[in-house]
Amino acid sequence: MRKLIGGAIAAAVVFCAAQAQAATIKVGVIGPFSGPFAHYGKLYKDSVEAYLASQGGKFGGHEVQVLYRDNGGPNPSGTRALAQELIVKDKVDYLGGFVFTPNAMAVAPLITQSKTPTVIFNAATSDITEKSPYFIRTSYTLWQVTVPAARWAHKQGKRKMVTAVTDYAPGVDAETAFKTEFAKLGGTVVESIRMPISTTDFAPFVQRIKASGAEGVYVFLPGGPPNLGFVKAYNENGLRAAGIDFLGSAETDEFDLQKFGDAALGLTTAFHYSAAHESEANRKFVEALRGQSKDAVANYASVGAWDGMAVIQKMVEATGGKRDGAAAIEAARKLSWESPRGPVSIDPATRHVTQNVYLRKVERSGGQLINKEVENFGPQPDFGLRK
């Protein structure tokens, strides 16, 4: 009898030791999986699962377990509660996700206190990474993509532009970035139009743009129905014919791009990722996504999640799978790699990704609408934090 107990204890000890050696890495992903922004959640999940599959489900020899939590949209207090649960109860090693700025801001004190490296897959306001030294961002910021756009507009000979942005933090960032840069180069922004976030009828704003007498309009809208509505209004009210060129960023997002139809042809945007980017890394990414789920879309959100997981992998490898937030962040600061979007590196000062920004025009290729990259502005840092 004693031998049996002794054997059982020995087996248990060996079992525990074996578990401890290849400790599972837990990653918490917080995003909207229900409600009007549920498509972001699905994009994140598809991308994360695809990345894990491409790495054989392990980072640096450690099993990876991803816990998804739904915050329903912009919901700072709910997000904070979810993050608290993930950190305290589920004891996650890393956090990821975050579509909206207020949600990311809400978890800043938590991740600082618990030293949890947190990778932002989307939220694009510049000063988020300042709120905690444990934030890393793999998406973009408005300053980063807007400054090159302003420079390009000026190079094209435009001297009078109008900005039309959705009235919330990233939109205001975009407006400020464009105005500052354009003015620096000697142009003027004749009118800055702010559209309420709940707008569905863009005709009034488009009429104001027409009446402003500008040579072009710089636009920023959040993904989804506002994009469609605005582009429709732009076309239906004859802005192109009136000589007011369209310059945007994420409006021709691949997620809804096909819905625009021919109305979208020729639209110009300055952005950091196009699914039509020609590179081996991108081909692999798109293939992996398609393999994961038939209706997965390669766009800025899914590439943000893909690269976010890549950063987490590098952090796991650097810390040998142990939970050491400070060391992980230190390692992350020095990263540079080939992402599906092009060559990227993490800026050690801002912990935000430095990446190429491209000028794209919408074209039809193989029956599908794509964002064709026509110019590469080269690597751009986050100008918002360099003020």
Partner 1 sequence: MNRAVTERAMAPSSPLRHCVVIAGVGLCGLLLPDQWPLLARIAVMALFVLSLDLVVGIAGLATLGHVAFFGMGAYAAGIVALRWTADPLLGLAAGAAAGAATAAVSGLLVLRYQGFTFLMLTVAVAQILHSLANKLRGWTGGDDGLSGFAIDPVLGIAPFDLEGRVAYLYALAVLVGSYYVVRHIVDSPFGLSVRGIHQCRPRMPALGTPVGLQLWKIYVVAGLFAGMAGAVSAQISGIVGLDSFGFSLSAEALVMLILGGAGRLYGALIGAAIFMVLHHTASSINPYHWLFVIGGLLMVIVLVPRESLASWLRAVPRPWANGARASKREVA
Partner 2 sequence: MQILANILIDGISYGMVLFIISVGLSITLGLMRFINLAHGAFAMTGGYLAAWLVRTQSWGYAAGVAAAVLLTAALGALLEAVVLRRLYRRSELDQVLFTIGLAFVFVAATNLAFGPQVQLIPLPPWLAGSVDLGMRTLPMQRMLVIAMGAAVALLCGLVVARSRFGVWLRAAVDNKDAAAALGINIRLVSGLTFAAGCGLAALGGVLGAELMPLEPYYALKYLVLVLVVVAVGGMGSIAGTLAAALLLGVIETASKYLASEYGSLFFFVAMILVLSARPQGLLRRAA
Element (H, E) at 145: helix 142-155
**From candidates 19, 21, 24, 34, binder to partner 1 by CB under 8 A:** 34
278, 322 in Cβ contact below 8 A?
no
Counting runs of H as helices and runs of E as strands, what totals does the chain give? Answer: 12, 15
Q: Does the protein bind partner 1 through residue 109 (CB under 8 A)? A: yes
> Which of 327-361 are b and which e, b meaning 16 or more Cβ less than 10 Å from the residue's Cβ?
bbbebbeebeeebbbbebbbbeebbbbbbbbbbbb
Report 284-313 residues binding partner 1 (CB under 8 A). Answer: none
Q: Does the protein bind partner 1 through residue 88 (CB under 8 A)? A: yes
Backbone angles phi, psi at 99, to 5 degrees: -90, -40
Q: Does the protein bind partner 1 through residue 139 (CB under 8 A)? A: no
What minimum distance in Å lies between the beta carbon of 90 and partner 1?
Answer: 9
Q: Give the span between the Cα atoms of 207 and 278, in whole angstroms.
A: 38
Q: Which is nearer to partner 2, 85 or 167 (CB)?
A: 167
Q: Give the span between the Cα atoms of 250 and 270, in whole angstroms.
A: 8
Q: Which is nearer to partner 2, 44 or 135 (CB)?
A: 44
What minimum distance in Å lies between the beta carbon of 184 and partner 2?
Answer: 25
Q: Which residues of the shown chain bind partner 2 in the complex (CB under 8 A)?
A: 35-36, 38-39, 167, 193-196, 198-201, 203-205, 207-208, 210-211, 224-225, 228-229, 232, 236-238, 256, 259
What minimum distance in Å lies between the beta carbon of 260 and partner 2?
Answer: 10
Stretch that binds partner 1, among 106-114, 137-145, 210-218, 339-347 (CB under 8 A): 106-114
Residue 269, CA distances (Å) to 98, 199, 246, 288, 321 in order:
24, 22, 8, 26, 40
What minimum distance in Å lies between the beta carbon of 34 and partner 2?
Answer: 8
Contacts of 213 (CB under 8 A, 6+ apart): 160, 190
- Binding partner of residue 89 among partner 1, partner 2, none, CB under 5 to 8 Å per kind? partner 1
Q: Give the span between the Cα atoms of 98 and 308, in whole angstroms.
A: 11
Positions touching partner 1 (CB under 8 A) are 33-35, 38, 69-70, 72, 74-77, 80-81, 84-85, 87-89, 101-102, 105-106, 108-110, 113-114, 125, 131, 167-169, 196-197
